[in-house]
Amino acid sequence: MRASFLGPVCALILLLRESDCQGDDVTSRTVNPCCHFPCQHWGVCVRYTEDKYECDCTRTGYYGENCTVPEFWTRVKHFLRPPPDVLHYILTHFHWLWDVINSTFLRDVLMRLVLTVRSNLIPTPPTFNSKYGYLSWESYYNLSYYTRILPPVPEDCPTPLGVKGKTKLPAAELLVEKLLKRKTFRPDPQGSNLMFAFFAQHFTHQFFKTYNRMGVGFTKALGHGVDAGHIYGDNLERQLSLRLLKDGKLKYQLINGEMYPPTVADAPVKMSYPPGIPVEDQMAIGQEVFGLLPGLGLYATLWLREHNRVCDILKAEHPAWDDEQLFQTARFIIIGETIRIVIEEYVQHLSGYLLQLKFDPTLLFNSHFQYGNRISLEFSQLYHWHPLMPDSFHISGDELSYQQFLFNTSVVTRYGVEKLVEAFSRQVAGQVGGGHNINAVVTHVALRTIEESRQLRVQPFNEYRKRFNLKPYESFTQFADNKEIADTLEEFYGDIDALEFYPGLMLEKTRPGAIFGESMVEMGAPFSLKGLLGNPICSPEYWKPSTFGGKVGFDIVNSATLKKLVCLNTRTCPYVAFRVPPEEKQRQEKSDGNMPSDEL
């Protein structure tokens, strides 16, 4: 480590800032040298005096004043590692090659490599949080905070994003209106459907539970991972209210002979419904916000039925077990089924990879892998995929507006599970990346996300690009292939290095034929895989048949699919997938081909 003095540079920046701010009383002594983000390749900036800092390059693979000089083995790894866009191209082309790989031991070799390389990008134990931009015991042990991958922008920087860009950020409302709000619905070219969209929302809300009552940066989800809290509740009191307390099962109601979540009148838990909706019309679900959308009520119904079905199987296998052991073992099985479906179908679909992804915890048993997970603020911000939502909902010949759809649990019971699954599997979702695709009804969520990121001083988009081994963009025209978006961003921010994290993810040009841009995939995948494989059930101590009630329970986990989740819990087996049928995708693409070019 070497000390560095940035006094002259900082003074120049402050002079520029003073001119821009028309006489703000600022001197060079107020500029924190860490505002320049001088330390590269995961180096830690440590400030000593007003203009003196050091970069701690320990175990980064780099050395030098700002951790920019690669060590020998770092040079070797860089030489051998293909760029992300080249690797993505290889993984999504050459069907004949992947047919061979997927049928041999090479599949396991590559899957192990994917898991370790991606997971190693996420620090364990956690480093920073919404309060501390340096390592502290509070950051480590206080589970009430979201953790952070990068520390916040120092408070005393010349501009909101460090030293680059304008001294005032564009109004969040203007960003949403000019760049994020939908003009014309743009379908996802990968064919993602509403079954996928609602799965993404229901699955992530077990660990994305922002708790603004405590302030920004706090979470109510103490599990910090896949704990099925959205099914069973996030505390023991809620769980017990939802349980039948017999044979391990959850409470339910029967409508036309079919099982649905109980009403709040029968399972007294707090649910988030608008005032005036009687408790008899409110579904009691583990996640209190799941009354919002019938798509979430659909998945709550499916997992309720699956849990009780598994309990019947376990009861037959273990007649001596009591209610508690049946419940706890069934919960493990549900968690295992969830992880398998997420990796082998949900992530598989998102990635577009021809490598057939595999959920096999034993692949990591001989690797240096740390079990446990903490949800980060950046992951929570990244996962705001509201462009997935359509302009209306088409169910069994009916078109429902948002007004008819929101907080209307009768949609679930009136149409029934089969019709909803069929409808959601056939209706295409929106493309997430590329901008201009959030329905006006949900733009308020994007607005809140931008405001939250500013309160928590999230570092610029390009700093996260570097943190995840991606090249920073050099201009807005390189970042966006839409000239209007590039020009507007230039006007709003003035410098590509001042572009904010969340707008960057949502506005980045998408990969050809893909739902996202490069950054969303390369940043999101490490968070996802680390969280999934870091689950306790994936550890050597847990991953064994006895954990799941023996071979029968273990087999349920190891053979879980989305289709089984639906078809083992319905009278008939509808079309179910995360992708619209080929004929629907072709029809949609043909329809898009007739759209005016300025709407594409």
Contacts of 28 (CB under 8 A, 6+ apart): 7, 10, 11, 14, 50, 51
Residue corresponding to tokens 């007003």: 50
Answer yes or no: 415 catalytic: no
Answer yes or no: 41 catalytic: no
Q: Which two tokens stand for residue 203?
A: 């699955």
- Given a contact cutoff of 8 angstroms between Cβ atoms, the answer to whether 29 and 12 are in contact is no
Distances in whole angstroms, Cα of residue 86 to Cα of each of 81, 83, 90, 353, 519: 10, 5, 6, 13, 14
Whole-number Å distance between alpha carbons of 225 and 203 = 10
CA atoms within 13 A on the CB side of 199: 27
- Given a contact cutoff of 8 angstroms between Cβ atoms, the answer to whether 218 and 212 are in contact is yes
Whole-number Å distance between alpha carbons of 457 and 154 = 8
Whole-number Å distance between alpha carbons of 188 and 434 = 11
Cα 158 from chain centroid?
A: 32
- The end-to-end CA distance of the chain, in Å, is 51
Catalytic residue, chosen from 41, 88, 205, 436, is: 205
Cα 589 from chain centroid?
A: 27
Whole-number Å distance between alpha carbons of 67 and 264 = 57
- Alpha helices per DSSP H over 457-513: 461-467, 476-479, 483-493, 501-507
- Alpha helices per DSSP H over 192-280: 194-204, 229-232, 236-242
Residue type, 223: G
Distances in whole angstroms, Cα of residue 309 to Cα of each of 227, 328, 568: 19, 14, 9
Residue corresponding to tokens 């900082």: 10
Q: What SS3 class is residue 389? A: coil
Whole-number Å distance between alpha carbons of 391 and 63 = 52
Residues in the chain, overall count: 600
Burial class (CB in 10 A: 0-12, 13-18, 19+), 504: buried
- Given a contact cutoff of 8 angstroms between Cβ atoms, the answer to whether 65 and 48 are in contact is no
Catalytic residue, chosen from 62, 232, 383, 464, is: 383
Burial class (CB in 10 A: 0-12, 13-18, 19+), 27: exposed
Query: Which stretches of 372-528 are assigned E, i.e. beta strand?
Result: 393-395, 398-400
Number of neighbouring beta carbons within 10 Å of residue 29? 13
Distances in whole angstroms, Cα of residue 145 to Cα of each of 19, 214, 223, 371, 386: 39, 10, 12, 19, 24
Point out which residues pair with 148 in neighbouring strands: 128
- Given a contact cutoff of 8 angstroms between Cβ atoms, the answer to whether 52 and 33 are in contact is yes
Q: What SS3 class is residue 82? A: coil
Rounding to the nearest 10 degrees, give the CA dihedral for residues 353, 354, 359, 364: -80
Q: Mind telling me the catalytic residues?
A: 205, 383
